[in-house]
Amino acid sequence: MKLGFVLLFLLTATTTQLVAQSDNTSFTSLEEALKNPAKAKSLNLKGLGLTTLPESIGTLVNLERLNLSGNKLTTLPDGIFLLKKLKYLNLNGNKLTTIPPAIANLKNLTELEIAFNGISVLPKEVAQLSNLSRLAAAKNNLKTLPLEMLKMTSMKIADFSYNLFVAIPQAITGMKNLKALDISFNKSLAKFPPEIKNLQALKILNLKNTKITAEQVKTLNWSLFSCTIML
């Protein structure tokens, strides 16, 4: 069952990381992309050791995919939030402690990866990402989620593993189209709200290495009868 979850998540993640075609709209250098900013649709700056980004990144007005993973960013320039056509944003493995409220400007975002940072709070404005279907937020310092996220009904895959939740956040119970939820390795997580029964689309729930008991899982099985629960 664990393998099934891993395959589902990795398949989705891998698919989203493929660049559509190897054409002249895809760049691995910001300097090159800025020479013809209207042409750039994909920019991959993964693992370059970047500590800052220039505001000029905001001139890439047609950018749809931006990979900034594996750098050393502690803050994000305001220019990123001018990229209104962005669909995929990867911030994994940086040194971020917050996500600016301006994230709400990225209305077309469908996938957001913020794992392996030091983020302790998500801004309520993240709930305005009405098209977001996948959120990868593992390995942060999250203790709860803003209630505004209840309305994120486009969410299908969410990974909150290795955080600091003591209970499954109420906000998750409004994500009625959620299919896969990984909340494993939240080692103090011991309870869930009764509204979890609203997640009738849920197929996979990973609760490994939490304080949820086998008896509690029996209750969940009654509420989420079509869901595979891993404990």
Spatial separation of the C-alpha atoms in residues 11 and 47, rounded to whole Å = 22
Spatial separation of the C-alpha atoms in residues 69 and 150, rounded to whole Å = 28
Record the pTM.
0.90
> 35-184+200-224: which CATH number, 3.80.10.10, 3.40.50.300, 1.10.340.30, 1.10.10.60?
3.80.10.10
Task: Give residue 214's pLDDT.
Answer: 96
Task: Give residue 20's pLDDT.
Answer: 43
Per-domain boundaries in the chain: 35-184+200-224
Spell out the per-residue pLDDT of the chain, length 231, in tens: 454 555 455 445 544 454 444 568 999 999 999 999 999 999 999 999 999 999 999 999 999 999 999 999 999 999 999 999 999 999 999 999 999 999 999 999 999 999 999 999 999 999 999 999 999 999 999 999 999 999 999 999 999 999 999 999 999 999 999 999 999 999 999 999 999 999 999 999 999 999 999 999 999 999 999 999 999
Task: Give residue 13's pLDDT.
Answer: 53
Say what percent of the chain tops pLDDT 90. Answer: 90
Task: Give residue 215's pLDDT.
Answer: 96
E strands, 32-80, where?
A: 42-44, 65-67
What lies within 8 Å, CB to CB, of 118 at 6+ separation is 95, 96, 97, 140, 141
